[in-house]
Amino acid sequence: MAKLVETFPCVPSTERGRGILISGDPKSDTILYCNGRSVLIRSLQRPQDVEVYGEHGYAATVARYSPNGEWIASADVSGTVRVWGTHNGFVLKNEFRVLAGRIDDLQWSSDCLRIVASGDGKGKSLVRAFAWDSGNTMGDFDGHSRRVLSCAFKPTRPFRIATCGEDFLVNFYDGPPFKFHSSHRQHSNFVNCIRYAPDGSKFITVSSDKKGMIYDGKTGDKIGELASEDGHKGSIYAVSWSPDSKRVLTVSADKSAKIWEISEDGTAGSVIKTLTFTESGGAEDMLVGCLWQNNHLITVSLGGTMSLFSADDMDKPPLLLSGHIKNVTSLAVLGGNQKTILSCSYDGLIVKWLQGVGYNCKLQMKDNTKIKRLAAIDSNILLTGFDNKVWRMPLTDNGFGAADHVDIGNQPLDISIAVDTPEYTTLVSFESGVVLLNGLSILSKIDLGFVVAASVISPDGKEAIVGGQDGKIHMYSVSEDNSLKEEAVLEKHRGAVTVIRYSPDLTMFASGDANREAVVWDRETKQVKLNNMLFHTARINSLAWSPNNKMVATGSVDTNVIVYEVDKPASSRITVRHAHLGGVNAVAFVDECTVASSGEDASVRMWHIEPQ
Amino acid sequence: MANAASGMAVHDDCKLKFLELKAKRTYRFIVYKIEEQQKQVIVEKVGEPGQSHDDFAASLPDNECRYAVFDFDFVTAESCQKSKIFFVAWSPDTARVRSKMIYASSKDRFKRELDGIQVELQATDPTEMDLEVFKSRAN
């Protein structure tokens, strides 16, 4: 039996030059955001608690709770809106095809009966308001000619809808049935976000022209502006009102968030506090999303870091939550009492997580380095990059040290460290052969004559096993002069070998292939020890041994993680279904009965395995 | 002797043993083999009622095709003890193509000789005739 113990969730997916919209539920104190095809519900009181909704067929863009907290409406890039229940296993209420293109913003009316969605359509359908249960359109929304970036529903009666978009216009519609009332062209650049105050008296628009305008909630006329002194120096991407309708939080590309006091009549807003965000010092610090909920101020940076400030005490350093935005390709587990898990994604982000705690720190590789694999030993990390380089980085208590690298001349495929050798001999495989490294100096580069797919080196550095594209496994002994002598060729796999791993006691090794089969071999006799490990339905991406040599876990593109026990027949296996939406990329054992897995949904999960 | 579409005859013993399994429950499973020289389907082995699914799985060769009939006992959702007769077309990926072709073309005609099969299963590797597959197909 397998049980989910911990999730290290992904963070909202961000895009340079655009803001993102996050929302939340003040009653349950949770926030909603989207990453890839998933919608994540995260608790602010306990940030490790996260639930995932993965039913969208296309990338999800925005999700919002209904005012009564019972339903969530989420939208995706295909123009579909799904309304589903918050409790009861996310049961689907309805699904509507609302716009012809991507939906950028979605808002409920305060009586929970209407939803307005805005985005990109073809010509006519840029904004639509419809009934939440029947999908009947309510009103005509003319007046915009380009993508409508944001929309807002007046929370109090009489109902009004305000929209803003890339055509620099802010449109005001009265109704229901909604029809065009007035249009304003006060901004000189994209109007990124529009939000009504909770008491319905005013609404604010913020724009890439660095300005914010305040309008009357009932008539839609401009009444004031956010002060330009001490104002933002970059595009303002998002705005959020405080629950008492007196203050707003804005975030901008100038890497700061500002809190403004809005005067009672709405004629002016002045800055009361500026919160700067400096994490990496680069473009990743631009703030793209914000939310003011109850007592929390949340800002999201382009690099995916969410900062949680307290509204009462804004000087207190924020709680930083981060994670991956892109799929996690590789995992490594480092020992000690509290296990450290390192995960890396192809965009060059390495995140360090602590078991039981969550996010610890992260490192973004400079210069757009793309990372393929990660291997870690003690306090050093080795990375293989798409640019033919192998990087080495020391790991300190709170962060990462300076990296240095070596160029091996070919794109590296797989990396394996001989952990018992004094200098950490490393085997890196590339398409036609392998390279032996000592630390970061190349010992030898050997052309093997066949297309290499996977490789591993034994901890004492004396034996290497290389798997080929044709499914054959070649066993080599490593001689003193760092050359390889072929000892045996094993044929069983019917597809390219994707991963080979030694058991911790070195008596066995296991291999997995692209044809969904895994095999456990006895190292001495080179005979098959466990057969018929064919329960995946697609390519096996990764394999891991438990520390006590009893179990093997395999992760596959079919989104499942299967744990086999070596002493029992393969049919008595434990399956973790749908571990990661999109496929499982890496698995690793954290201790005797806990497996960590990571996959296409940019999250890392820990499962507790109970052998039967 | 009956004739199969691909010219394969069916030995009388096959039908007799099947009727015994169906009516008197004298066997747990029967494994049939196509004898290429004599061009007929014969009974290769039978299993005692006391034997289980594991014995059945073990009696099928890894690299050759076979036909098999298995009497599967299970308990339904309403807690009644039921049994269903499964026909398994065992055609492993590692078998020779010629063997797979012969078994595939003779299967329909052979199945028609065995009156009373409730579920048909095709298995190309051991995972496809796993106990769980039987359980899910039984309902």
* 8 Å CB contact of B126 and A532: yes
Cβ within 8 Å, pair B126-A535: no
Q: CB neighbours of A527 closer than 8 A, spacing ≥ 6?
A: A521
Whether the CA torsion A292, A294, A297, A303 is positive or negative: it is negative
In tens, the pLDDT along A507-522 reads 999 999 999 999 999 9
Does pLDDT of A573 surpass 90?
no
* Residue A468 neighbours by CB under 8 Å, 6+ apart: A450, A451, A452, A453, A474, A496, A497
Residue of chain A whose Cα is closest to the Cα of B129: A571
Q: How far is A514 from chain B (nearest CA, A)?
A: 15
Q: pLDDT at position B3, please?
A: 42
Yes or no, beta carbons of B126 and A571 under 8 Å apart: yes
The answer to whether the CB of A183 falls within 8 A of the CB of A143 is yes
CA A164 from chain centre, in angstroms, equals: 28
Give the pLDDT score at B120: 92
**Dihedral sign, CA of B12, B17, B22, B24?**
positive
Look-up of token digits 């995960």: A343
Instruction: State the pLDDT confidence band at B7, using cuts at 50, 70 and 90.
Output: low
Average pLDDT of chain A is 88
- Where b means 16+ CB within 10 Å and e means fewer, A440-473 reads eebbebbebeeebbbbbbbbebbbbbbbbeebbb
For residue A84, give both structure tokens.
Answer: 């589903």
Contact call for residues A39 and A29 (beta carbons, < 8 A): no
Q: For chain A, give the percent of residues with pLDDT over 70.
A: 99
Identity of the residue in A534, A535, A571 whose CB atom sits nearest the CB atom of B131: A571
Element (H, E) at B112: helix B97-113
Q: For B77-89, what is each residue's pLDDT tens digit?
A: 888 888 899 999 9
Query: Measuring CA to CA, how many Å separate A123 from each of A61, A100, A146?
Result: 21, 9, 8
In this prediction, residues A16-32 reach a mean pLDDT of 89
Angstrom distance (rounded) from CA A80 to CA A100? 9
In this predicted structure, which of A357-371, A438-452, A573-587 has the lowest mean pLDDT?
Answer: A357-371
Q: A321-355: per-residue pLDDT in tens?
A: 888 999 898 998 887 667 888 999 888 888 888 88
* pLDDT band of A586, cuts 50, 70, 90: very high
- From start to end of A439-536, where are the E strands? 441-447, 452-457, 463-468, 472-478, 484-491, 497-502, 508-513, 518-522, 528-533
How does pLDDT run across A25-70, given as a tens digit for each residue? 888 889 999 998 999 999 988 888 889 998 899 999 999 999 988 9
Q: How far apart are CA A81 and CA A132, in angstroms?
A: 10
Q: Of the candidates A563, A583, A580, which has an alpha carbon nearest to the alpha carbon of residue A572?
A: A563
Q: Give the per-residue pLDDT at B12.
A: 85
Largest CA-CA distance found in chain A, in angstroms, rounded: 85
Residue A481 has pLDDT above 90, yes or no: no
- Adjacent-strand bridge partners of A470: none
Residue type, A199: D
Residue B9's pLDDT is 79
The residue of A513, A532, A564, A572 whose CB has the most chain B CBs within 10 angstroms, and thus the best one to mutate to test that interface, is: A532
pLDDT band at A237 (very low <50, low <70, confident <90, very high): very high
Beta pairing, strands A268-276 & A287-293: unpaired
**CB contact (8 A) between residue B126 and residue A534:** yes
pLDDT tens readout for residues B84-128: 999 999 999 889 998 898 899 888 888 888 888 999 999 998 888
Characterize the bridge pairing of strands A212-216 and A222-226: antiparallel
Helix (H) or strand (E) holding B98: helix B97-113
Query: Which one of B127, B129, B134 would you mutate to disrupt binding with A, by most A Cβ within 10 Å of its Cβ?
Result: B127
CB contact under 8 A, A494 and B93: yes
Distance from CA of A538 to the nearest CA of B (A): 13
| Minimal C-alpha gap between B121 and chain A (Å) | 17
The residues pairing with B55 across neighbouring beta strands, listed in sequence order, are none
Q: Please state, in angstroms and rounded to a whole number, the distance separating the CA atoms of residues A309 and A315.
A: 8
**φ and ψ at B15, to 5 degrees?**
-70, -40
CA torsion B16-B19-B20-B21 (nearest 10°) is: 120
- In the A/B pair of chains, how many CB contacts fall below 8 A? 16
Contacts of B127 in chain A (CB under 8 A): 532, 534-535, 570-571
A-chain CB neighbours of B130 within 8 Å are 571
pTM for the model stands at 0.85
* pLDDT tens by residue, A361-411: 888 877 777 888 888 887 788 888 888 888 888 887 767 777 788 888 888
- Cα(B84)–Cα(B100) distance, integer angstroms: 26
**pLDDT for B110:** 87
Which tokens sit at A577? 């279904």
Phi/psi of residue A494, nearest 5 degrees: -110, 25
Task: Please tell me the least confidently modeled range out of A17-26, A301-310, A363-372, A538-547.
Answer: A363-372
Min Cα separation B125/chain A (Å): 8
Q: What tokens does A421 get? A: 């050798």
- Looking at CA atoms only, how far is residue B2 from chain A in angstroms? 37
pLDDT at B1: 40
Q: Which two tokens stand for residue A247?
A: 């203050």
pLDDT at B35: 85
CB–CB of B125 and A571 under 8 A? no
Percent of chain A with pLDDT over 90: 38
Q: Give the model's pLDDT for residue A336.
A: 67
- Sheet strand arrangement including A433-438: A412-417, A425-430, A433-438, A441-447
Give the pLDDT band (50/70/90) at residue B2: very low
